[in-house]
Chains A and B, each alone.
Chain A
């Protein structure tokens, strides 16, 4: 990684932390909070690309594990990763990487709908695929209940995908950072 890549990684780790300044809303039964931070995951992938975006979120998760209060509501520590929402958090670096990869692949032919599809795939489908079974194991509820409880995230996720597409498009026009691959 070049110095520029390292600075970009730090920037998107910090952006994800800053999005945590919006107060979280905690869901009942499964005990996982809705935060603006998953938008940081989408923006890191869509703007910084696969390698830098994925690394940025890996750095963010590392800092949270080390106990820095960077999660929404000033939470931090390994308790977060061990808790019901841990599956989602651990998938963030993977999600940012996959989103970045798909963006770089499709860069020459990006349409709004392609971007929405990429963000839903990486930011929602992929994270839920690990996040829901994780809730079921940690909170000891059955899989169906965990999935049903997680459905409460979907409206928030839809809003975040729309916002992320709008932001990523505008930023790409003003300051292109991605290389097609």
Chain B
């Protein structure tokens, strides 16, 4: 799923929860304090962390590629409207954040991220959010995505036989109805096994 790069570096071994929190903190700080020196410092620090994690510069730059031309357009707009200082700020800030987010996903397994999220939501317990239920919902969601793709392929074939392959409605309605029926079966199966989220731990 996420391109995880196994490793033993301090960045890899840092607890996933801490990495998520650091990402949120840096992101918030960079937008709250729009200063070029801070953005450049964050960019430089991110570069150092990539080095520490043993990730090649090529792979690091690959993180920026999907955003490359958005960055170019943003910089040109800023340059035209607000001068080169603000253009550099916008570019440096965006690049630093995207690189940092990429670093977290490159050095953390998705399973560890989910577990960290589930633990991180424990404080919501008094508000009626059960972290074990959230964990179940996350696991089910990740399982449903390939199932949805498979059902869609099946329905598309059936509708092609009827000459309806171009109709999005004729494709989506049977997929959704089948998934709804399947959801009821899955829920019944989970309940039949006496699933009790209050005792499931988490």
Contact = CB atoms under 8 A, between A and B. Distances in A.
A67 B141 contact: no
Nearest to A5: B187
Interface residues of A, number: 53
Interface in B103-139: 104-105, 108, 110, 113-114, 117, 133-134, 136-138
B184 interface: yes
Contacts of B191: 3
Per DSSP, are chain B's interface residues mostly helix, strand or loop, or mixed? helix
Interface stretch (A74-82, A108-116, A118-126): A74-82
B169 A170 contact: yes
B144 A68 contact: no
Given A82-B27, A170-B173, A171-B180, A10 B137 contact: yes
A96 interface: no
A167 B173 contact: yes
29 contacts: A1-B133, A7-B186, A7-B187, A8-B180, A11-B140, A11-B183, A13-B141, A15-B176, A17-B141, A18-B149, A18-B152, A26-B70, A59-B141, A66-B20, A66-B110, A67-B2, A67-B104, A67-B108, A67-B110, A70-B145, A78-B24, A79-B67, A83-B94, A83-B97, A137-B31, A163-B168, A163-B169, A167-B172, A174-B173
Given A59-B134, A175-B181, A167 B169 contact: yes
Interface string A39-63: 0000100010000000000011011
Interface string A146-167: 0000000000000000010011
Interface residues on B, range: 35 or more
A177 B187 CA distance: 14
Interface of B: 1-2, 20, 23-24, 27, 31, 66-67, 70, 73-74, 77-78, 81-82, 86, 90, 94, 97-98, 101-102, 104-105, 108, 110, 113-114, 117, 133-134, 136-138, 140-142, 144-145, 147-149, 152, 168-169, 172-173, 176-177, 179-181, 183-184, 186-187, 190-191, 195
